[in-house]
Amino acid sequence: MTIGVVVFPGSNCEYDALVAVQSLGVDAEFIWHTSTDVEGFDGVILPGGFAHGDYLRPGALARFSPVMEAVAAFASSGGAVLGICNGFQVLTEAGLLPGALQKNIGLTFLCQPTTLIVQSTSSVLTRGATKGQELVVPINHFSGAYTCDDATFASLEAHDQIVLRYKENPNGSRGDIAGVCNVEGNVVGLMPHPERAMSTLLGSDDGRILLEGFVRAPVGAR
Amino acid sequence: MNYPVIVDVTLREGIADPEGATIERALPALGFVGVSHMRAGKSFRMDIDAESESAALEKAAALAERLLSNPVIENASARSGAKG
């Protein structure tokens, strides 16, 4: 079992993600964004940061990094893909997840713990959690307001794709959405940082519940 | 031939625009009253080598759709950047 952590120029949470996965007893390696395959990996994480400087829009340039074609192919073959924060923005820009992330309401950069409520346990990220469970996980973003049109929102609800909601909406996200998955449940994106909630010494270890689910059984969530 | 082109990217109708709203709220304090429906956007200027201006605009519209805008939340339109 090896998890790949994609590194774009401007990523800055790749070590956090790598060490978090390794702390669960699972091998993890970096994948540079110019790689054209993700062969040998059992799961792929797109970490937080400011890929390609977030120029144009967060994720807009990263989606055209060579590695993203391989990530898309991996995802469509059922591989487990997790986008955290900027990684979530990249996945929406790439069309691997529905919706978009906009500037926070109030135009404030938010860096604070949030309480999340598990909505669905049929994604690779939340399969180890229970429905309704509350998890304390920090956020750290400027563009985290989840946005989508009415039809997409209805479809998300109908297909159980809303994975996590904020207990108290910090950023103006539609429907208090903190994370969503694709219909199959093997591609998940969330704005909060589970890799920063791995130890009670740092405020919370609730991120372990999420990442353990992701690394234990990465393929075939549903 | 090179044709100057401008691409405007704006948020789609109905998509919240916290930036535009914040700008609008700041205006009365500066003495500007009667300004409403402020929407923030972006514009991009470029020169496009093409057979004709309409071909250049077509190319600009295509690259705006693919890269300059996110069609989930934004509209893009291309216009001539030639100084009249």
- The domain of B11 spans 2-80
- List the strands of the sheet with A27-32, edge to edge: A27-32, A2-7, A43-46, A80-84, A187-190, A177-181, A162-166, A110-118, A134-141
Which class for A10: exposed (0-12), middle (13-18), buried (19 or more C-beta within 10 A)?
middle
Give me the phi and psi of A147, to 5 degrees please. Answer: -135, 140
- pLDDT above 90 (res B54): yes
User: Å from A157 to nearest chain B CA?
Assistant: 18
Q: Is the pTM of this model over 0.90?
A: yes
DSSP 8-state secondary structure symbol assigned to residue A198: S
Collapsed DSSP state (helix, strand, coil) of residue A59: coil
- pLDDT above 60 (res A6): yes
Domain spanning A2-216: CATH superfamily: Class I glutamine amidotransferase (GATase) domain (3.40.50.880)
Average pLDDT of span A153-169: 98
**CATH number of domain containing B22:** 3.30.1280.10
Q: Please give the mean pLDDT across all residues of chain A.
A: 95
Residue B16 — pLDDT band, cuts 50, 70, 90? confident
Record the tokens describing residue A188, joined without a space.
């998940």
* Whether A155 contacts chain B with CB within 8 A: no
Q: How far apart are CA A148 and CA A155, in angstroms?
A: 11
Q: Model confidence over A14-42: pLDDT tens digits? A: 999 999 999 999 999 999 999 999 999 99
Q: Model confidence over A123-152: pLDDT tens digits? A: 999 999 999 999 999 999 999 999 999 999
Active site residue A195: yes
Q: Which helix (H) or strand (E) covers residue B38, if one does?
A: none
DSSP 8-state secondary structure symbol assigned to residue A40: T
Total count of domains within chain B: 1
- pLDDT above 60 (res A221): no
**Which residue, A104, A7, A180, is CA-closest to B16?**
A104
Active site residue A184: no
A103 vs B19, B68, B72: nearest CB: B19
Choosing from A13, A85, A148, A181, the catalytic residue is: A85
Q: Model confidence over A174-189: pLDDT tens digits? A: 999 999 999 999 999 9
pLDDT of residue A222: 38
